[in-house]
Chains A and B, each alone.
Chain A
Amino acid sequence: MRNIILEKIVKLFLNVMLIFSVYLLFRGHNNPGGGFIAGIIAATGFIFYAIIFGTGSVKKMIGLSSRKWMGLGLLVVLVTAILPVFFSKEVLTSLWVPGDFPLLGALHIGTPLLFDSGVFLVVSGMILTIVISIMEVLEWN
């Protein structure tokens, strides 16, 4: 039997969680937060969604399979690691673009954020992969 109130709440919950996780990811360099925490939070949102709507709908929503998501994260991290080489710096050195941005004000935008995004993708992808695998095998849907 469908529970409409629950479904609505879960949808809302997912949206809030995703927005919150992105927020945490971006402020992570200066305030509590960061890729690891944001990744787990995003994954939690998806877990609840999967419990209510089944893994199929989550898969549909992500588009890419969660394993490719992890791979993408690793790729982002690797690119970030190798990028400094092209600016004749050592591997894993961070690059910074200081400047004034509209809306955000004076900020330093740099590769650590990219690195953190990679971590975010890997962590959330990992948890999702695990949960989806378990749920599919146990025929939770």
Chain B
Amino acid sequence: MIKYLPHLIGFLFIAGLMVPLLYPILKAKLGLFLSLIPLTILIVLFSALAGLTPESLYLLPSSWGLLPEMNFGFRIDGLSLIFGLLISGIGFFIVLYAAWYMSKYERQGHFFTYLMLFMASMTGLVFSDNLLVLFIFWELTSVTSFLLIGFDHHLAKSRQAALQSLLITGLGGLCLLFAVIMIGQVAGTYEISLLIERGIHLGDHPKYRLIFVLLLLAVLTKSAQFPFHFWLPGAMQAPTPVSAYLHSETMVNAGVFLLMRIHPVVGGTMEWKYMLMLTGVITMFLGAFFSMGQRDLKRILAFTTISALGTMVLLIGIDTPQSMKAALVFFIVHGLYKGGLFMVAGIVDKSTGTRDIYLLSKLFKPLPFTSIAAVFALISMAGLPPMLGFIGKELVYDAQIQLPGMSWLLLPLGVGANIMMVAISITIFTEVFSPFGKSDPIKVKYREKDFPWYFLGGPIVLALAGLMLGLMPGMLDTLIANALYAAKNQLLDVNLSLWHGFNDVLLLSLFTVVSGIVVFIFRRSLNVHIGRLIDWFDKYHLPTLFAKGTKIYVDRAYKRTQIIQHGYHRFYLLTFFIVTGLLIVAQVNWDFLSVMPDGGYTPLRINLVLLLVVASLAVIFAVFSRSRLSAILAMGVVGYAVAILYLMYGAIDLAITQFLAETVIMVLFVMVILYLPKFAVLSTRNSRIRDWIISLSIGTLVTFVVLHARFINLYEPISVYFIKNSLTMAHGRNIVNVILVDFRALDTLGEITVLTLAAMGVYSLFRFKVKKNKSKKEL
């Protein structure tokens, strides 16, 4: 069954593109219909779980690709399964959720198109077995994320946030492309399975540092790590289903996924450890810290997401089997509670019209089931039993304690971040949901019974899943062992359980909870201080710096462009002619001047020489003439002279066409000329002299080029073929005409299209004018 996975991913893409056709038929049921696809993927992935052993790996090779080295092969192992299950599972609930959430929006169809395309590219990203393909899916997620953040594109804020996220993730994508190409060049293959199979590790390669820094930039930007974290809170401008899906569950985890995926090839070095630990720990702490000072529920969740992402990067950086295991479990934990919480935030928003936690209160009564789901998720976020979050946090502490040498720095920051998580969880619960307390309950527009089941289902199911996995964590053992095998290439017994016995990790947990409660009690005064700090920080805030930087860059680019793009027509041409001339001079081999062509020159024909002399005089007259009419007539003389030339050399069709065309042009010109200004000398004497020098040298150059061209005979002329087959194959005696309408008919087809366009251009230029005249008359 799993072998149909690529088809299903393709089907997601097609479904996304089909939405414009489906929407008019299905209307509000569109979301329900589309949710069937992620559900199918989920079932298929579950079927793959059945036969899973810690070492199993399922490859779907493909010889089909855009480039020889770029095959759309798929790879199903524990790592991609964990990510794939979360993407499709939460994707299923998100699509259901969005079906109602977006039902009031006019551009619902657009939304589902983007969402489906995103889901397809994200699934493709985690399952692809080729680094180049992975890169393409990576970029597709950036683009669809851009479209989704800017979904409310009538708001300047949305547009700005979308652009910001695109610029940052785009920068990362570019770095990833370079890194991928370098890995491919160094290792000789882009296939991930081959890279792992051959045991290629780039740690000793001289270019390792460059590759690693490029990869790191890709990961930091995508996973919103410090100092690129600021695009994620901005991305909260997107509709809530998007925030819940892209910006907490899937896209931002792509960086974490990439780290684990590429770990066997580049991981485990000193650079890897220190860089990842450093950014991870800073991000983890800052994220948790800033979430304290926020009021908007979604922004709070965004900052806690940043903190969680930092934790995962930190754990991958620690790079022991324990820490990797912790990272994987933590990823599942985070996926389960954060998706639920975001959906709850959306439900609260829909029901009350606000997301400010200090305005909200006592939502337990109108939203009982949602509140229970939220409470479970909050317990998981705080890392308390019996939720899976508890196991996750215990593992994180475990990994941090066991790290020799660095735990003195990591542990306090890690515990600190967790203390704030506890405090935040309790704050959200008391401010928003708790039925106790003095404050008045907020007025609600919708109660829970007003919502359809599929709008509420997501958070409840996710909370229950977190609870179930917390009570029976053994279900995850094989899956995580397999993922570990994929990421670290070593087998490890995984035995998750809720109760680890009484040890120092448990003590730390107890300390965390108590401190969290203390922080919660003093939160008001603390928040004031943090708020002040954030205000101060805003002045030198990274988004502002980023915006300024972009503006300066654009201004600079604009000024530079003006130097080249100055708007003076003749200087453009001047540059063009001089550069072309110099290039020709540099290219041409001047030896030919001393050699005669084969068989010498053809003898002079006096009548033709006379004709050319007349034409030359005419063209010189045209250049110097002060009268428009005589200049045009002189032009006509030149044209007719050329026509006679054609005739003399046997090109009868050409001569006729030239005569006729020249006549028509003259007629047109004479028609228009009366309405045009007289010639005037506009340029200065000096510029005229300069132009003469340049044009005369161009003329001389062309003379030489024409002479030189006589010597070039690279291939057998194809006209011989035309001459031979004109009558036998094409039944025509006029070879020129046969070429036009038969041998080279495609060229003629293109040409008459151009003619039509030119005529339509003239027509529209003048029609505009006629209309204007008419409207003037009417006035």
Direct contact of A and B (CB under 8 A): yes
Q: Of residues 39 to 53 in A, which have CB atoms within 8 Å of B's CB atoms?
A: 40-41, 43-44, 47
- Given A67-B759, A77-B749, A92-B745, CB of A28 within 8 Å of CB of B734: yes
- Within the assembled complex, what's the spacing in Å between the Cα atoms of A91 and B737? 19
For B675, what are the chain A residues with a Cβ–Cβ distance below 8 Å?
138
- Given A126-B755, A133-B763, A140-B671, CB of A33 within 8 Å of CB of B741: no
- Within the assembled complex, what's the spacing in Å between the Cα atoms of A138 and B773? 11
B769 touches A137 (CB 8 A): yes
**B756 located at the interface, meaning its Cβ lies under 8 Å from any Cβ of chain A in the complex:** yes
**B720 located at the interface, meaning its Cβ lies under 8 Å from any Cβ of chain A in the complex:** no
B760 touches A67 (CB 8 A): yes
B660 touches A135 (CB 8 A): no
- Within the assembled complex, what's the spacing in Å between the Cα atoms of A29 and B739? 10
A130 touches B752 (CB 8 A): no
User: What's the minimum C-beta distance from A123 to chain B, rounded to whole angstroms?
Assistant: 7
- Total contacting residues, chain A, CB less than 8 A: 48
Q: Which of B126-134, B564-572, B661-669 contacts A (4 or more CB under 8 A)?
A: B661-669
**B33 located at the interface, meaning its Cβ lies under 8 Å from any Cβ of chain A in the complex:** no
A33 touches B737 (CB 8 A): yes
B737 touches A134 (CB 8 A): no
- Within the assembled complex, what's the spacing in Å between the Cα atoms of A74 and B734? 23
User: What's the minimum C-beta distance from B743 to chain A, rounded to whole angstroms?
Assistant: 10
For B653, what are the chain A residues with a Cβ–Cβ distance below 8 Å?
32-34, 37
- Within the assembled complex, what's the spacing in Å between the Cα atoms of A73 and B769? 27
B668 touches A30 (CB 8 A): no
Q: Of residues 124 to 141 in A, which have CB atoms within 8 Å of B's CB atoms?
A: 125-127, 129-131, 133-138, 140
- Within the assembled complex, what's the spacing in Å between the Cα atoms of A129 and B667? 14
User: What's the minimum C-beta distance from A76 to chain B, rounded to whole angstroms?
Assistant: 10
- Within the assembled complex, what's the spacing in Å between the Cα atoms of A78 and B763? 23
For A41, what are the chain B residues with a Cβ–Cβ distance below 8 Å?
660
Chain B interface main SS type: helix
- Within the assembled complex, what's the spacing in Å between the Cα atoms of A92 and B743? 9
Option from A35, A43, A96, A125 in Cβ contact (under 8 Å) with B741:
A35
**B758 located at the interface, meaning its Cβ lies under 8 Å from any Cβ of chain A in the complex:** yes
**B753 located at the interface, meaning its Cβ lies under 8 Å from any Cβ of chain A in the complex:** yes
Nearest chain A residue, comparing its CB with the CB of B663: A44
- Given A74-B753, A94-B742, A129-B762, CB of A32 within 8 Å of CB of B671: no
- Within the assembled complex, what's the spacing in Å between the Cα atoms of A81 and B748? 11
Option from B661, B732, B734 in Cβ contact (under 8 Å) with A32:
B734
**B588 located at the interface, meaning its Cβ lies under 8 Å from any Cβ of chain A in the complex:** no
A129 touches B671 (CB 8 A): no
- Given A77-B749, A133-B763, CB of A126 within 8 Å of CB of B660: no
- Given A81-B749, A129-B762, A133-B767, CB of A123 within 8 Å of CB of B732: no
For A32, what are the chain B residues with a Cβ–Cβ distance below 8 Å?
652-653, 656, 734
- Within the assembled complex, what's the spacing in Å between the Cα atoms of A94 and B770? 43
Interface centre among A37, A110, A140 (most CB of B within 10 A): A37
User: Interface residue tally of chain B, by bracket?
Assistant: 35 or more
**B740 located at the interface, meaning its Cβ lies under 8 Å from any Cβ of chain A in the complex:** yes
A116 touches B767 (CB 8 A): no
- Within the assembled complex, what's the spacing in Å between the Cα atoms of A74 and B758? 14
A134 touches B733 (CB 8 A): no
**A70 located at the interface, meaning its Cβ lies under 8 Å from any Cβ of chain B in the complex:** yes
**B730 located at the interface, meaning its Cβ lies under 8 Å from any Cβ of chain A in the complex:** yes
- Within the assembled complex, what's the spacing in Å between the Cα atoms of A16 and B762? 29
For B745, what are the chain A residues with a Cβ–Cβ distance below 8 Å?
81, 92, 94, 112, 115
- Within the assembled complex, what's the spacing in Å between the Cα atoms of A73 and B667? 24
Option from B668, B738, B753, B770 in Cβ contact (under 8 Å) with A29:
B738
**B766 located at the interface, meaning its Cβ lies under 8 Å from any Cβ of chain A in the complex:** yes
**B449 located at the interface, meaning its Cβ lies under 8 Å from any Cβ of chain A in the complex:** no
A40 touches B660 (CB 8 A): yes
- Within the assembled complex, what's the spacing in Å between the Cα atoms of A37 and B660? 8
Nearest chain B residue, comparing its CB with the CB of A117: B741
**B731 located at the interface, meaning its Cβ lies under 8 Å from any Cβ of chain A in the complex:** yes
| Contact code string B672-687 (vs A, CB < 8 Å = 1, else 0) | 1001000000000000
Nearest chain B residue, comparing its CB with the CB of A77: B749
**A108 located at the interface, meaning its Cβ lies under 8 Å from any Cβ of chain B in the complex:** yes
Nearest chain A residue, comparing its CB with the CB of B656: A37
Option from B661, B737, B769 in Cβ contact (under 8 Å) with A34:
B737
Nearest chain B residue, comparing its CB with the CB of A116: B741
- Given A33-B737, A40-B661, CB of A138 within 8 Å of CB of B668: no
- Given A32-B656, A70-B756, A77-B749, CB of A135 within 8 Å of CB of B737: no
- Given A47-B667, A96-B731, A108-B731, CB of A129 within 8 Å of CB of B759: yes
**A122 located at the interface, meaning its Cβ lies under 8 Å from any Cβ of chain B in the complex:** yes
**B544 located at the interface, meaning its Cβ lies under 8 Å from any Cβ of chain A in the complex:** no
Nearest chain A residue, comparing its CB with the CB of B744: A92
User: What's the minimum C-beta distance from A95 to chain B, rounded to whole angstroms?
Assistant: 11
Q: Of residues 87 to 125 in A, which have CB atoms within 8 Å of B's CB atoms?
A: 92, 94, 96, 108, 110, 112, 115-116, 118-119, 122-123, 125
User: What's the minimum C-beta distance from B741 to chain A, rounded to whole angstroms?
Assistant: 4
- Within the assembled complex, what's the spacing in Å between the Cα atoms of A94 and B748? 14
B748 touches A119 (CB 8 A): yes
For A36, what are the chain B residues with a Cβ–Cβ distance below 8 Å?
657, 740
**B746 located at the interface, meaning its Cβ lies under 8 Å from any Cβ of chain A in the complex:** yes
For A3, what are the chain B residues with a Cβ–Cβ distance below 8 Å?
none
Nearest chain B residue, comparing its CB with the CB of A65: B763
B733 touches A29 (CB 8 A): yes
For A33, what are the chain B residues with a Cβ–Cβ distance below 8 Å?
653, 734, 737
- Within the assembled complex, what's the spacing in Å between the Cα atoms of A19 and B660? 17
B737 touches A125 (CB 8 A): no
Option from A47, A67, A92, A119 in Cβ contact (under 8 Å) with B752:
A119
- Given A112-B742, A134-B668, CB of A126 within 8 Å of CB of B748: no
- Within the assembled complex, what's the spacing in Å between the Cα atoms of A122 and B656? 18
A119 touches B741 (CB 8 A): yes
User: What's the minimum C-beta distance from B754 to chain A, rounded to whole angstroms?
Assistant: 10
Nearest chain B residue, comparing its CB with the CB of A31: B734
- Within the assembled complex, what's the spacing in Å between the Cα atoms of A126 and B756? 6
- Given A34-B653, A123-B752, CB of A112 within 8 Å of CB of B732: yes
- Within the assembled complex, what's the spacing in Å between the Cα atoms of A95 and B580? 45
For A115, what are the chain B residues with a Cβ–Cβ distance below 8 Å?
741-742, 745, 748
For A67, what are the chain B residues with a Cβ–Cβ distance below 8 Å?
759-760, 763
Interface centre among B667, B753, B763 (most CB of A within 10 A): B763
Show 9 residue pairs from A and B whose CB-CB distance is below 8 angstroms, ordered by the A residue: A34-B737, A47-B664, A116-B737, A122-B752, A126-B758, A130-B758, A130-B762, A131-B667, A133-B766
Q: What 10 pairs between A and B have smallest CB-CB spacing? A: A30-B733, A126-B759, A108-B731, A40-B660, A29-B732, A133-B766, A122-B752, A129-B759, A34-B737, A112-B741
